[in-house]
């Protein structure tokens, strides 16, 4: 993740850099706000950080001509919804929750990388 964020800051345009900066803040915020003793239910601090990241990515969609930011926002939306679904239905196993969330996380990072690589020099 750090390599993709570095690539975004070095090679990306302003929109890619803004998405990478928002993701970097969310990454650190999630680490600081997670409750490692809570293995089930909703992580409210991480949910708040993820909603803020979703709002930031959605705001970056305004006037965007390339699809990477729309895909990043969509993947982040699925990540936020995985928090919500885990809170609504306690039958969802912890493994399924973490798998879905990790997949969405890597999709967002991949979309930032796509945005950085497609940026003009």
Domains of the chain, residue spans:
2-118
pLDDT computed for residue 9 by the predictor: 94
Q: For residue 37, what pLDDT band results from cuts at 50, 70 and 90?
A: confident
Check pLDDT > 90 for residue 111. yes
Cα dihedral 101, 109, 9, 54 sign: negative
For 91-107, what is the mean pLDDT? 85
Name the band, by pLDDT with cuts 50, 70 and 90, for residue 68: very high
Highest mean pLDDT among 30-34, 39-43, 100-104, 108-112: 108-112
Please report the sign of the dihedral spanned by the C-alpha atoms of residue 10, residue 109, residue 44, residue 77. positive
């Amino acid at each position: 993740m750090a390599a993709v964020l570095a690539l975004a800051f070095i090679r990306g345009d302003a929109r890619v850099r803004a998405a990478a900066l928002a993701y970097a803040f969310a990454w650190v915020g999630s680490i600081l706000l997670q409750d490692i003793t809570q293995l089930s239910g909703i992580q409210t601090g991480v949910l708040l950080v993820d909603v803020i990241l979703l709002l930031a990515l959605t705001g970056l969609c305004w006037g965007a001509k390339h699809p990477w930011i729309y895909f990043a926002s969509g993947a982040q939306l699925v990540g936020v919804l995985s928090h919500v679904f885990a809170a609504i239905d306690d039958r969802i196993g912890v493994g399924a929750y973490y798998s879905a969330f990790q997949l969405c996380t890597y999709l967002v990072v991949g979309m930032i990388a796509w945005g950085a690589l497609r940026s003009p020099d």
